[in-house]
């Protein structure tokens, strides 16, 4: 991803293990400022051995109100390409999702407004903000192969 420095130069690479050890859940948002804006996608990493955790992660994705959901398994070879920390969180059995979207700062599009609303709704679902939770009922399930170019080319 052009916006990111090489993996070994990323400062968060050194602090991620410490954060994940203490995290109760992880909501990771990657903002892209590429020429071609991408619609929001939620990446759900399924916890294969823990059905309760898998269901909770699915509910986090629905609470984020993002209609495009990409399901990935921990052993999927494409997981490393995305460089999300969500799979590492799931290894520690912490619920985690990753969201890829166009830059939100200064973005007044309907999709950006919906994602802002979805992130607040997700905080409500995680009991970090007051009020009732809404749910995304119409989900477009996508394979990583179908969104790979638009996500990785940013």
Q: Where are the domains of the chain?
A: 7-152
What stretches of the chain show up as alpha helix (H) in DSSP? 12-22, 51-63, 79-82, 86-91, 110-125, 144-152
pLDDT of residue 75: 67
pLDDT of residue 152: 61
Phi, psi (deg, nearest 5) at residue 84:
-80, 155
pLDDT of residue 61: 87
Q: Is residue 129 a contact partner of residue 60, using CB atoms and an 8 Å limit? A: no
| pTM passes above 0.85 | no
Q: Is residue 79 a contact partner of residue 48, using CB atoms and an 8 Å limit? A: no
pLDDT of residue 3: 53
- pLDDT tens series, the chain, 154 aa: 345 555 556 566 677 788 888 888 888 888 876 667 778 888 888 777 788 888 888 888 888 888 888 888 766 766 777 778 888 888 888 888 888 887 777 778 788 888 888 888 888 888 888 777 776 666 666 666 766 666 665 5
């Amino acid at each position: 991803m052009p916006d990111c420095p090489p993996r070994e130069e990323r400062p968060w690479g050194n602090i991620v293990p410490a954060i994940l050890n203490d995290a109760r859940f992880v909501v990771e948002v990657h903002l892209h400022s590429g020429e071609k804006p991408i619609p929001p996608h939620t990446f759900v990493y399924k916890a294969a051995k823990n059905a309760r955790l898998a269901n909770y992660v699915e509910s986090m994705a629905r609470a984020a109100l993002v209609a495009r959901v990409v399901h990935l398994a921990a052993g999927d070879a494409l997981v490393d390409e995305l460089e999300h920390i969500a799979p590492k969180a799931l290894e520690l059995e912490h619920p985690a999702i990753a969201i890829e979207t166009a830059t939100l700062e200064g973005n007044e599009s309907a999709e950006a407004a919906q994602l802002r609303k979805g992130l607040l709704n997700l905080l409500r679902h995680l009991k970090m903000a007051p009020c009732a939770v809404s749910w995304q009922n119409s989900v477009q399930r996508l394979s990583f192969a179908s969104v790979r170019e638009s996500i990785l080319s940013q």
